[in-house]
Structure 1
Amino acid sequence: MKILHTSDWHVGRTFHGRDLLREQESVLSGLADTVADERVDAVVVSGDLFDRAVPNAEAVAVCARVLKRVRAAGAQIVVTPGNHDSAARLGFLGAFTEAGGLHLRTRIADLAEPVLLADEHGPVAVYGIPFLEPETARQALGVPDAKGHAGVLAEAMRRVKEDLAGRRGARSVVLAHAFVTGGEPCESERTIAVGGVQDVPGGVFSGVDYAALGHLHGQQTLAEHLRYSGSPVAYSFSEARHHKQVWLAELGPEGLAGVEKRALPVPRALSTLSGELEDLLVAPEHEDVADHFLSVTLTDRVRPLDALRRLQSRFAHAVHVEWRPEGGRTGELRFAERVRGHTDEEVACCFLEDVRGERPGERELGLLREAFAAAAREETA
């Protein structure tokens, strides 16, 4: 049996204010081609199908079209909610969609009730563990003393393995959305720490043939049977060097027979640039990134005005700019220390110098003095 492992679709997410629905639909629709070409039996989505608990209508429509294409290509689909999803909303029509091959495992009470698939070697039990918020899950699971994510996931896996023990000969796949020890995070993931504890030891997932993890956005292998698929689209510049892929896991008669990568298309590459604004606007060597999403660090001595708009005149998809003057301060201000003993005028002048990189001119000084005098008169009155 072939299982295509994906996660963290985050349908509806934006990138520095830019809508990504077109890019997301393009990449995710390609999963249907992989299903058809590889004769995939099941596609699993390990959490964060949507980016918000209440996705907008456009995001729901994109997700519905993608799932329909994947199902039409011949694969069963199993989905569990992540920390971005609303489990209740996602699972609302679960009892009806299952008949059509879309299996939504969203309830804690059902985590030990697998989706049962079968091939020529017998049954495969696919368990979906929804994201477990510790405070809620420890009560729902009847383990009030469980500690953090590790405690509630350990109880969830105990129940899974207890059910699996009664299914003689069944191979097993578990979907879980968690931060497993050894995983490498990036900037686009929302923390799931509660009381400072978020890590789950990998040993919790022993005893199953394949654990399809979600939450971390970089594809990773923690053990042969324990993997993160990563997000299908980059959601931060910390992912600029990621090669977005999915895992294709094959279960043979004795369990996991092998796992291979399958590359995903890149709808728009991510790049970073650094330099002075006027140079960046004309330098020919930057032409190859003109169509990329860009994060730009400006090194001008004086902060350029309207920098992002000017950059976008050449780089239409520049979305992020920061100013780090070469050889100058990077913006760390110890305000209380620096203003002690200074007049209001001196403080204002220092502020303007910090944010612009140069002191105010005589005309600006005159305006500042007028403003301070007016404020003093108002205060006296």
Structure 2
Amino acid sequence: MDPEEVDNGSVQEDEGLGWGKSLPVPSVQEMVRKDSQSVPERYIQEHNNRPLDSEFSPDLFEIPIINFSLLANGDEEEQRKLDISCKEWGFFQITDHGVTEKVLHDMKAAEAAFFELPLEEKKKYAMGENDLQGYGQGYVVSEQQKLEWCDLIFLMTLPPKIRKFKHWPVSIPGFKEAVETYSTEMQKVADELLANISLLMGMEREDLKSLHGEMKQAMRMNYYPLCSRPELVLGISPHSDASTITLLLQDDELTGLQIRHKQKWVPVKPIPNAIVVNIGDTLEVWSNGVYKSIEHRAVTNEKRSRMSIATFFIPGDEVDIGPLESMVDDKHHPRMYKKIKYLDFLRHSLGGKLDGKAHTEFLKLHAE
């Protein structure tokens, strides 16, 4: 399929976010719809990147589960669990988070309705020239790199003034309302998590949120088509997130997310209606490496397509990120990261393909 078939070819009337861009490439969903048996060479990962069974951890590893309601009510055991999760795992699932099943269901239905649209209709919401918002693929920076088995739509969701509705498929009944409601609920959950992490870092409840300046929220809706040779491809390559924290709504039945733990890949088994939380690079830097942003990836399967929704919480563009004084001890825990404007870090991370922890390594002082 020619890449131009999914390039909307339109010239945007503005410059977009200025964070970077991703090259237009064919829709994987459309490619599979036309031929479900072929795996084009450009999607076949190098051997050392393929999801090999030998890399999986034994089943004795499962990411921690935290009762969000207890945490929000100051339960010391859940706070201790949160601290260990952030230090040793970088990932955990939260249950009893107060977001209703209807809100979660409506959000999943809105995403599904978008990906059910004909290609020509989806192309109306394609990413612009210098904008990552919209429909397409992420982190495609060269014509030579291996591609991921995933289509996505990326939207800036908060604050409301940065939304670009030309990229929102508002023609889908209920789409806008579902995203707005879900976005508001995710913000409440993130605020409570950040407040608890702030206390663990020796600060006041509101300090971590305040550090963001005008906090931004972005949403990435992922569509992973089924694949006849899932052992050859990746839905998303190994990477850590450039966010402070990320909240992920998974498929309730299919396991696709895997995280790197003790040099093995641990599948994150879905818990119906739970939300997966992970630490991002920004929090790793602010915590001076005490809390870890962990590599994760998504794999595909032969049986059916899978969808997920990642919501990212990030600082304002001009905010400086660097180790907080409360997390630095010259004798026992010296400063490990340089100070950098968040926008500069974001442009660096979006300027290359997904490559493990390379972007966090760039922030370390020894990288100078």
TM-score, with structure 2 as normaliser: 0.26
TM-score, with structure 1 as normaliser: 0.25
Q: Larger radius of gyration, structure 1 or 2?
A: 1
Higher relative contact order (CA 8 A, sep 6+): 2
